[in-house]
Amino acid sequence: MTFPYPPSRGGTQVRTFNLLKYLSQYHQVTLVTQQSPDVTEAQIHDLGRFVSHLQVFPRNDQPYTNFLTKIGRFAQFLQSGTPSNVASYYSSELQTWLDQAIQTGNFDVLTCEHSVNEIYVRPHWQKQLKVVLNLHSSVYRTCQQQLSIGISDHPNRDRLYLPMLKGYEKRLCQKFSEIVVTTQEDQSQIQAYNPQIPVQVIANGVDLDLFPLRSCDPNGYQLMITGGMDYITNIDAACFFAQEIFPLLQSQYPQLQLWIVGANPAPQVLALTHNSQITVTGRVPRMVDYLHQATVCVVPLRSGYGIKNKTLEAMAAGVPVVGSDRALEGLTIDPHQPQALRANQVSEYITAISQLLDDPSLRAELSENGRRLIEKNYTWQRLGADYEAVLQKN
């Protein structure tokens, strides 16, 4: 179970932390999680302030680089039907604690935050209490998409994995009384597995205190890409934009700069700085401080399902966004009063970004419309209430 604090660690942590923070205002919440080596005692203490009881178990992060070990993990997947990345973090100690806790009958609802934690959920628990899966995104669909556009790190392996991942995802859904997803696309996919299981859409949100609206347009020629730069989807997006689109824009705007802002940049992302007008920052103290300096935030994702925190956060900060279909998934963009500009092809990115660089009034319109959309539909206060309603529904 991914340790959900601080919420700046990533999308999984942002969603889990903000939903439990909301629920803890009105309910007794017990959080069971695992401490990876990078989690400090201070962070455990801070997280404990947001829940009634915090139960933490150690997680052993072991690299699997040995060829024979990888073969063994694949064989285990074939035999058990559980992906190796799920099984490898399994804690029998955590399972024992959870089994005993459920037997006490002291809990009304069990939520499983992210599908990788389903391994701890017993199918028969549905008879004792409500069991809800908060499915942050479909692993099967993500793998399928990465193969289709040619960005999989291990295409031969993933082609073998794909049908097994679909079967795994289909089986795990049967354990739950109800399932929550972030977009209608994921809802359609999961509902197809079993039409009898209720599947509700609850998007991601933004903490508006952490992402305030910027006070003014910085003007200039500053583009920005955000996200964890050790994740294949973000690596592909950054390289695609920096190599195929940014040089074309540079020819039109010689003073143009591109900042790639996000933790743990992979070697291929660091290599992009061979272009002297591209800066790779690594982890920064506060993402919003960098967003406020950007003329345009570009979200050039070519893969990845679910609603994107990076898109929501940029819009909340008042930064004009140019994003792909994947970047804008789950958002209804009004073409007459746009909250963002959509682009998928190279020429579409060139057109949209050029329009924004040349037109301060268009930037102001997107800034205002984007922030208004977030305030109306994507605050954790609103989404937390929606989640609470699912958990309390009979």
Average pLDDT, rounded, for the chain? 91
Class of domain 222-377: alpha beta
User: What does CATH list as the number for 7-205+380-392?
Assistant: 3.40.50.2000
CB atoms under 10 Å from CB of 348, counted, come to 15
User: Is 146 in contact with 152 (CB distance < 8 Å)?
Assistant: yes
Lowest mean pLDDT across 79-93, 132-146, 284-298 = 79-93
Residue 111 CA, distance from chain mean position: 18
Give the mean pLDDT of 46-53. 96
- How confident is the model over 213-255, as pLDDT tens digits? 999 999 999 999 999 999 999 999 999 999 999 999 999 999 9
* The pLDDT value given to residue 61: 60
CB atoms under 10 Å from CB of 252, counted, come to 12
- Structural domain boundaries in the chain: 7-205+380-392, 222-377
* The pLDDT value given to residue 70: 60
* The pLDDT value given to residue 359: 97
**Residue with the two structure tokens 């700069």:** 257
User: Is 179 in contact with 135 (CB distance < 8 Å)?
Assistant: yes
* The pLDDT value given to residue 319: 98
Q: What does the alpha-carbon distance between residue 51 and residue 25 come to, in Å, rounded to a whole number?
A: 9
Q: 300 versus 1: which is more confidently predicted?
A: 300
Give the mean pLDDT of 14-18. 93
Closest CA to 146 of 74, 264, 232, 269: 232
Q: Sorting pLDDT into bands at 50, 70 and 90, what band is 181?
A: very high
Q: Sorting pLDDT into bands at 50, 70 and 90, what band is 317?
A: very high
Give the mean pLDDT of 109-114. 93
User: Is 268 in contact with 239 (CB distance < 8 Å)?
Assistant: yes
Q: What does the alpha-carbon distance between residue 117 and residue 128 come to, in Å, rounded to a whole number?
A: 19
Question: Do the two domains 7-205+380-392 and 222-377 of this chain adopt the same fold?
Answer: yes
CB atoms under 10 Å from CB of 120, counted, come to 17
* The pLDDT value given to residue 78: 66
pLDDT greater than 70 at residue 15? yes
Share of the chain above pLDDT 90, in %: 71
Point out which residues pair with 321 in neighbouring strands: 297
- How confident is the model over 324-364, as pLDDT tens digits? 999 999 898 888 889 999 999 999 999 999 999 999 999 99
* The pLDDT value given to residue 74: 60
pTM above 0.75, yes or no: yes
* Contacts (Cβ under 8 Å, ≥6 apart) of 247: 275
* The pLDDT value given to residue 38: 86
* The pLDDT value given to residue 1: 64
